[in-house]
Chain A
Amino acid sequence: MLTEYAFWFLTFVAIFSAIGMILSKNPVYSVLSLIVTFFAIAGHYFLLNAQFLAAVHIIVYAGAIMVLFLYVIMMLNQNEADEEKRSNWSKLLAAASFGILLIVISAAIGHGHAKEVAITQQAAFGTTETLGISLYKEFLVPFEISSVLFLAAMVGAVYLSKKEQYN
C-alpha cells in the first residue's frame, strides 16, 4: 500500500519536474528540475529493489553530469534576456514534428501487448552483489568493451583540450 502511494508520488514528481525542465526559460531552473526528475527516477529504482542502480544513478547523473551542465551554463551565463527569438515557423514545425512523435508513441503503447512484469521482491535481487556477479560473469565481454569505449572518450577529451592549448 505504502509502495503504491510512493509510486504515484514519485511518478507525479518525475513527470511534473520533467515538464518544468522543458518549460522554464531560465537554464539554471531547467537543470534543477532535471535533477529533481533524476531523484524521482532513482526513487522508482528503489521501489523496484534496485538499490545499486538508484545510488549510481544519483552519483553519476545528479552528482556528475548535471554539475557539468551547470558549469557550462554558469560559464556562458545565459539568461532569459540572451535567448534569441525564434520565428513562429520554427515553433510550429517543432510542435508538429513532436506531435507526430507523440501520436506514434501513444499508438505503439496502445497496440502493444502490455507485459505483466512480476516485481521480484527477493532480498538478493538488485543488490550490488547480484549485479556485480552477473556483470562480471554473464556479461563480462560487453562490460569490458563499454569500458574501452569510456577510455577512448577520455583519451579523446584529453587530446582535444591539449591541442587547443598549443595552438
Chain B
Amino acid sequence: MPIDILLFKLLLCGIIFVVSLAVAAYATWGERKFAAVLQDRVGPSRAGPFGLLQPVADGVKMFMKEEMLPTKSNKFLFILGPCLFMLTACMVSTVIPWGGDLTIDGAVYSLQITDINIGILYMFGVVSLGIYGIMIGGWASNNKYSLLGALRASSQMISYEIAMGLSIIALVMMTGTLSLREIVLQQDAGVSYVVYQPLGFLIFLICAFAETNRAPFDLAECETELVGGYHTEYSSMKLGLFLFAEYINMFISSAIMVTLYFGGYNFPFQHEIAEALGLSANGLTIVQTLLFFGKVVGFILFFMWVRWTLPRFRYDQLMSLGWKVLLPLAIANIFITGIVMWALGLIANN
C-alpha cells in the first residue's frame, strides 16, 4: 500500500472517530431538545445559544464526578466492561462507505476505511461481540440488579440478532455480494433496496431498535424494575461510556440502514444534477457525503421520535415479538424473495 494512501486512511480513521463522537454528543443534545418539543418544554437552554454547549457541560460533569469502584466487584472486569462496549460500538464504522472517491493529483482516495468483501459478516461479528461489554460490566458489578439487567440486555440482543441476520439474507440474495461498497454502488441507479425489500427493512429497523437497547426495547435499564440495569453500580465517566456508546450505536446503525436500504451516499438523479450544476467529481463526492449524513441524522431523529412516543414493552412481549413474529416474518421474506427472483429469472446458474 502506497504511503500516501496509508496516511489518508489513518487520517480518515481519526476523522470518522471524531465525527462519531461529535454526532453522538450532539445526539444527546438533540434527544433532549426533541423530548422538550414533544413534551412542550424548553429543554437545555443555559449553556451557550440554544443550549448548544450542553454536551460539553455534560462531559465535564461526567469527568469531574467521583470514581466509585464497588468493594466486592472484580476491578479488572469492572473497568473492562465499558471499554469493550465502547470499542465494539466504534468498530463497525470501518466498513461503512461514507462517500465515493476523491481524486487529488491523479491519486484516488476512497472515503471508506476498508472495503473487505465480507463487510456484512464483519458487521455481524462486531455486533455479536457488543454483548460482552454489557455482560462483563453487569456481572463484575456484583449486584443483583446489574446482573439481571445484563442478562436481559444480552438475551434481548441475541434474540433480535437472529431476526436481523435473516432479514439481511434476503437483501444479500438480491445483491449477490457481502461488500457494503458494492451494495451502495448497485443503488446508484436511484432505486434503493428499500423499494425491493420493504419487509426486510422493517424487520431490520425494529431489530436495530432492540440491538441498541433503545426505547421501546430499553428493558435492560428499566428503572421501575431494575433501578438502573447493567450500569447501576457505574459512576463517573465509566457510566458516561455506557451511555455514550448507546448514542454511537444509534449513529452507526442509522448509517448501516442508510447504506443497505436507502442508497448509501447516492441520491436520485445525482449525475444529472451534478452535470446541470457543473459539479466536478470531487464536488459531487462531497455533496454525496453531506447528504449521507443528512439521511443518517434523519434516522437518528426517527429513533428519538419513537423513544418519546411509544411506551416500553413488557419483557415477555419483547421475547414473543422477537421469536414469534419477527423471526417467522424474516424467514417468509427470504422465501418470498427467492420465489420472486426465481420467477423473474434473476437467479444466475453457475
Contact = CB atoms under 8 A, between A and B. Distances in A.
A binds B: yes
Interface in A35-57: 35, 51-52, 54-56
Q: How large is the interface on A (under 10, 10 to 19, 20 to 34, 35 or more residues)?
A: 20 to 34
A55 B122 contact: yes
A70 B77 CA distance: 13
Given A74-B139, A74-B147, A133-B350, A59 B128 contact: yes
A71 interface: yes
A63 B147 CA distance: 19
Given A67-B158, A71-B154, A133-B350, A55 B129 contact: no
Given A51-B116, A128-B178, A133-B350, A59 B124 contact: yes
Q: How large is the interface on B (under 10, 10 to 19, 20 to 34, 35 or more residues)?
A: 20 to 34
Contact of B121 (A26, A52, A75): A52
A63 B135 contact: no
B154 A56 contact: no
A56 B350 CA distance: 24
B73 to A, nearest CB: 12
Contacts of B128: 58-59, 62-64, 67
Contacts of B154: 67, 71
Contacts, number: 62
A135 to B, nearest CB: 14
Contacts of A54: 118
A-side binding surface: helix, strand, loop or mixed? helix
A28 B118 contact: no
A44 B76 CA distance: 28
Interface in B83-98: none
Contact of A71 (B74, B116, B117, B151): B151
B125 interface: yes
A52 B177 CA distance: 12
A106 interface: no
A125 B84 CA distance: 33
Interface string B131-156: 11001100100000001001100100
Contact of A70 (B125, B127, B135): B135
Nearest to A74: B139
Interface in A80-138: 127-128, 133
A67 B117 CA distance: 26
A87 B350 CA distance: 62
21 contacts: A26-B74, A28-B74, A51-B118, A52-B121, A55-B122, A58-B125, A59-B124, A63-B124, A63-B125, A63-B127, A64-B128, A67-B128, A67-B135, A70-B136, A70-B139, A71-B151, A71-B154, A74-B139, A74-B150, A75-B151, A128-B178
